Amino acid sequence: MIDSLVTFVIDVSGGSAALGIVLFTLAVRLLLLPLNVRQARTARIRERLAPKLRELRERHGRDPERLAKEMTALYAKEGSSPYAGILPSLAQVPFLWLMYRVATHPTALAGHTLFGAPLGEQLAGVVAHFGLASAPFLVFVSVIALVIAVAWLSARQIKVAEEQPEPMKKIMPLLPYGSVLAALVLPLAAGLYLLVSAAWATGERAVLASRPL
Q: What is the DSSP letter of 79?
A: T
Confidence (pLDDT) at 158 = 79
Residues 6+ apart with CB under 8 A from 6: 17, 20, 102, 105, 108, 109
pTM here is 0.82
- Residue by residue, pLDDT tens for the chain (213 residues) are 666 777 777 777 777 889 999 998 999 899 888 888 887 887 787 778 778 878 888 887 787 888 888 888 887 887 777 666 676 777 778 887 887 787 777 677 888 999 999 998 999 999 999 999 999 999 999 999 999 999 999 988 877 665 566 676 778 888 889 999 999 999 999 999 999 999 999 999 888 887 776
In whole angstroms, how far apart are CA 182 and each of 33, 110, 208? 23, 21, 27
